[in-house]
Chain A
Amino acid sequence: MNALLTIENLGIAFGGLKALEGINLNVARGDIFAIIGPNGAGKTTLFNLVSGLYPPKSGRITLDGEDVTGLPPHQLARRGLSRTFQNLQIFFRMSVVENVMVGRHLHENRNVFAHLFGLPSVGRQNRTTHESALELLSIVGLADAAERPAGALSYGALKRLEVARALATEPKILLLDEPAAGCNPVETEEIDAVIKKIAARGVTVVLVEHDMRLVMKISNRIHVLDQGRTLAEGNADAVRSNPAVVAAYLGVKGKTELGLAVR
């Protein structure tokens, strides 16, 4: 089994409330892996644990064969894990391209003394970083907005900016937290295309998403959470036909929605 990310028996509690308990999952290299579940199921919490923002109470996280449990986010970034955020975490005082340039941090020369004295190498570095940032922006369709202040972009565009910024770290695995939330159908289509492009570049994608149509369409494996526990896992068909998922999570109304998504 060629698992890139392995989670074993992962759990965390906030003030006695068990937010996640006994989660096990394997994300294989090249997967587009979706995590779904009703509000409060613990999807974002799971991302926060995997990306090192919260320390887990129990369990083990293995990334590319290495135990990374409890490592801080910047160390995980070094090992090839990056993410986007459900609540946007944009650098609003920067231009669009600068946001992506920050993502190149790990691949830049970080010698402070060179920076202090503005050595010519820093200028060259800035130009290469700028170029690669522009390239990433064109992948998400934002090349034209490169020099605008980040705050001037629409919500959907900001979502794609976060994707470009995360890609700039050259991750092996990218966690996307509700990339299509709050996006109109056109923007959702754009996100869909972007995710496919990312996967085509060889990046493994894990996404949390509410838009079932999107999930069923692009992911090859789906993990269902409910109230902090695993409810089911499988491919789109298996999850769709799993009675527990339909009953506990989607309900009657969801069934029709799910039905629609099939067609």
Chain B
Amino acid sequence: MTVHRFTSKPYMVVIALATLVLLLPLVLPSAFYLRIAALVFINALAVIGLNLLMGFAGQVSLGHAGFFGIGAYAVTLGPAYLGLPVWASLIGGAVFSALLAFIVGQPILKLRGYYLAVATLGLGLLISMVFTNEADITGGPNGMEVPRLVVFGWRAYGSQTWYWISGVSLVIGAWIAVNLITSPTGRAFRAIHDSETAARVLGIDVPRYKLLVFVMSAVYAAIAGSYFSLFDGFVTPDTTGFIRSIEFVVMAVLGGLGSILGSITGAAILVILPQVLTVFHEYEHIMLGLIMIVFMIFLPGGIVPSLAQRFRRRTA
């Protein structure tokens, strides 16, 4: 695990990320690549939230696609049934996710380790099931068309637009995450990860902080989910499923738990790899599985922390 300093070093990640978002369009040859970059940013946003929960506070969630799904459906259901503008529905989805996380989190977060994993898994499954089964409202497994985001009469569509929306949001999301982890609240999260007992004895209200980080990660997921369906123009229950929850966890762990840069790297790998692997078509899953195994064997702490450690050892 990396040792985080309270110095300005973590902010380097935010600055580097902002630079990357600014410069990337100059290098990317076509709209297709901008599209993939936008997908990376959207996933990374959700994964940063999950990383706050898993990597920093040490609480597992196998159901985060549920919150992602709430965001994804909010921007279609809000306009369709409540007559809300899309942007208001997006905020509404985030608020709803936060409320749900707040209510469900109080009992769930008393569980530990794998028991918490199965409880969050159940939560995600329940949410996903509602979207699948309430076909009269959600279109069921066939999904729904998603309206365009309109802000002050300006319609957001196309890869380039979404590249900027998701890119800027990711930078803000990363900035907020770094603010948090370098603050007393962040130290409380990390203390809970290492020793709940010691954290309690030092005056940290552990249930409160667990709930706080759970709610925050749900908000990250919901906003990312809204972006995802707005960008795609279509939403199906797959968006909210167990597989996607697992994907988020894999992104977070592969990139490196407890590292913001790791979350972005993990998301980038899991989004880009299948695109590259489509060349191999039939063998896509085989390759993906193999790559996951090999990476985790050789870089067990996650890509970013493990490489950083090796680099430090070499220079030291």
Interface residue from A53, A103, A122 paired with B202 (Cβ < 8 Å) = A103
Interface residue from B180, B202, B212 paired with A102 (Cβ < 8 Å) = B202
The number of residues on chain A lying at the interface, defined by a beta carbon within 8 Å of a beta carbon of chain B, is: 45
Chain B positions within 8 Å of A117 at CB level: 176, 179
Known: A53-B197, A115-B185. A98 touches B203 (CB 8 A): no
B1 interface residue per 8 A CB criterion = yes
Cα A53 to Cα B197 with chains together (Å)? 8
A106 interface residue per 8 A CB criterion = yes
Total A-B contacts with CB atoms under 8 angstroms apart:
123
What mask results when residues 189 to 222 of chain B are scored 1 for a CB within 8 Å of chain A, else 0? 0110111011111111110000010000000000
Chain B positions within 8 Å of A89 at CB level: 195, 197-198, 201
What mask results when residues 150 to 189 of chain B are scored 1 for a CB within 8 Å of chain A, else 0? 0000000000000000000000000110111011111110
A108 interface residue per 8 A CB criterion = yes
Cα A169 to Cα B202 with chains together (Å)? 7
Known: A98-B6, A112-B212, A118-B179. A77 touches B201 (CB 8 A): yes
A256 interface residue per 8 A CB criterion = no
B112 interface residue per 8 A CB criterion = no
Cα A41 to Cα B252 with chains together (Å)? 46
Cα A106 to Cα B201 with chains together (Å)? 11
What mask results when residues 70 to 82 of chain A are scored 1 for a CB within 8 Å of chain B, else 0? 0011100110001
Interface residue from B3, B178, B206 paired with A94 (Cβ < 8 Å) = B3
The reply to whether B180 and A126 contact each other, CB–CB distance below 8 Å, is no
Given A93-B1, A102-B191, 11 new contacts (CB under 8 A): A52-B200, A74-B205, A77-B200, A85-B197, A91-B194, A110-B185, A114-B183, A115-B184, A118-B182, A122-B179, A122-B184
22 contacting pairs across A/B (C-beta < 8 A): A53-B200, A77-B200, A77-B203, A82-B202, A83-B201, A85-B198, A93-B1, A94-B187, A95-B3, A98-B3, A105-B187, A105-B203, A108-B184, A115-B180, A116-B176, A117-B176, A129-B184, A147-B5, A149-B3, A165-B198, A166-B202, A169-B203
